[in-house]
């Protein structure tokens, strides 16, 4: 029997079968991504084949090939990875200028990883009701920057409802992954989008101005009128895998655009003469923050380690 994994709590996976049943399932055997150890070999969004048993539960016997997936290194320093979700049509990356502060390196690392799998990302700036005039100006600047690069940006308040109606049509008949730091309001936004769903939310820590990891497992929820959104646990950092410098350039859209005029086609845009990227940076066609994020990801290669802060 074929089904879609809609929830993952530890070793149990909730699967909605093609004929509309909901079956609690466990993994049979050993699934592995090529060469990568994953903390969750089966992810929300996977299509699986089930073997049901007499107790009404089932074994997951196989996974269908994934159209795409969003993967990051698990936040400890191990080689383990974590698949956020599989087979998604788009990502809403929730960011907040404050309460908590989302940093641009985190945003850019996420965007670059999504580029690697060609998953479109919208940036959703939440908690606009809390911003000071200065923070609002900063937000406008960020929205202009990312919009110019080619990422659609929306400003919303999940609690007051501002801007929510603009998001609703974007969700229709699509599978949308919601991601972002803990406390940015992912679950609150889903509660606003799907009446009665009642996801747990909690105030951020006053002492640290960060979320407290309220959502602990990923879950796919049905949107009225068609489509699904996936609520996920907040993530602190976004560690990526073995990306070559040439590849990395292509994951930063505007850097890639200018890199075509670099003198050397293996230019890393750090020290080489005739680098069109650094020239564009000097001329403010490329934002400093984006270039810093690019350098930050290049360093992964040298240090060969994941830094918790990003």
Ligand X SMILES: Nc1nc2c(ncn2[C@@H]2O[C@H](COP(=O)(O)OP(=O)(O)OP(=O)(O)O)[C@@H](O)[C@H]2O)c(=O)[nH]1
Using CB under 5 A as the criterion, which residues of the chain lie in contact with Mg ion when the complex forms? 186-187, 214-215
CA nearest to 86, candidates 66, 116, 64: 66
Beta bridge partners of 46: none
Q: Between residue 118 and residue 137, which ones bind ligand X under the rule CB under 6 A? A: 126-127, 129-130
Residue selected from 14, 113, 201, 293 as contacting ligand X according to rule CB under 6 A: 201
Q: In sequence order, which residues have a C-beta less than 8 Å from that of residue 224 and are 6 or more positions away?
A: 194, 195
Separation between Cα atoms, residue 2 and residue 87, nearest integer Å: 15
Task: Choose between 109 and 278: whose C-beta lies nearer to Zn ion.
Answer: 278
157 binds, among ligand X, Zn ion, Mg ion, none (CB under 5 to 8 A by kind): ligand X
Task: Choose between 241 and 256: whose C-beta lies nearer to Zn ion.
Answer: 256
Task: Choose between 236 and 279: whose C-beta lies nearer to ligand X.
Answer: 236
Task: Choose between 76 and 292: whose C-beta lies nearer to ligand X.
Answer: 76
Task: Choose between 60 and 275: whose C-beta lies nearer to Zn ion.
Answer: 275
DSSP H stretches of helix in the chain: 104-116, 133-149, 164-171, 186-193, 245-251, 253-259, 276-282, 288-303
Kindly state the smallest distance separating residue 97's Cβ from ligand X, in Å: 12
Long-range Cβ pairs for the range 142-145 (8 Å, 24+) = 142/97, 142/104, 145/287, 145/289, 145/290
Beta bridge partners of 8: 13
Residue selected from 40, 176, 214, 293 as contacting ligand X according to rule CB under 6 A: 214
Residue selected from 48, 114, 184, 223 as contacting ligand X according to rule CB under 6 A: 184
Residue selected from 57, 62, 159, 296 as contacting ligand X according to rule CB under 6 A: 159
Assess 182 for contact with ligand X (CB under 6 A). yes
Beta bridge partners of 85: 70
- Provide the b/e sequence for 45-84 (b: ≥16 CB within 10 Å): bbbbebeeeeeeebebeebeebebbbbbbbeeeeeebbbb
Kindly state the smallest distance separating residue 36's Cβ from Mg ion, in Å: 26
Do 124 and 163 contact (CB within 8 A), yes or no? no
Kindly state the smallest distance separating residue 182's Cβ from ligand X, in Å: 4
204 binds, among ligand X, Zn ion, Mg ion, none (CB under 5 to 8 A by kind): ligand X
Residues that bind ligand X (CB under 6 A): 126-127, 129-130, 157-159, 180, 182-188, 201-204, 211, 213-215, 233-234
């Amino acid at each position: 029997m074929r089904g879609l994994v809609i929830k993952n709590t530890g070793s149990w996976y909730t699967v909605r079968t093609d004929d509309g049943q909901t079956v609690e399932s466990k993994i049979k055997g050993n699934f592995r991504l090529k060469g990568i150890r994953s903390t969750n070999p089966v992810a929300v969004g996977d299509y699986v084949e089930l073997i049901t048993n007499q107790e009404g539960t089932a074994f997951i016997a196989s996974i269908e090939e994934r159209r795409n997936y969003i993967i990051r290194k698990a936040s400890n320093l191990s080689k383990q990875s974590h698949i956020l979700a599989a087979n998604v049509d788009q990502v809403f990356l929730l960011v907040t200028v404050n309460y908590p502060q989302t940093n641009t390196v985190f945003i850019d690392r996420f965007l670059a990883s999504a580029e690697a799998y060609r998953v479109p990302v919208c940036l959703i700036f939440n908690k606009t009701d809390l911003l000071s005039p200065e923070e609002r100006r900063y937000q406008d600047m960020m929205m202009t920057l990312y919009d110019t690069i080619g990422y659609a940006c929306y400003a919303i308040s999940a609690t007051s409802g501002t801007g929510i109606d603009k998001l609703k049509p974007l969700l229709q008949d699509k599978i949308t992954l919601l991601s972002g730091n803990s406390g940015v309001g992912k679950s609150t936004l889903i509660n606003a989008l799907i009446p009665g769903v009642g996801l747990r939310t909690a105030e951020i820590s006053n002492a640290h101005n960060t979320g407290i990891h309220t959502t602990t497992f990923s879950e796919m929820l049905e949107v009225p009128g068609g489509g699904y959104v996936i609520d996920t646990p907040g993530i602190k950092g976004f560690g990526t895998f073995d990306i070559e410098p040439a590849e990395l350039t292509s994951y930063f859209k505007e850097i890639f655009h200018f890199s075509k005029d670099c003198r050397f086609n293996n230019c890393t845009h750090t020290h080489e003469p005739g680098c069109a990227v650094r020239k564009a940076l000097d001329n403010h066609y490329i934002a400093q923050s984006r270039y810093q994020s690019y350098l930050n990801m290049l360093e992964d290669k040298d240090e060969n380690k994941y830094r918790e802060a990003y």
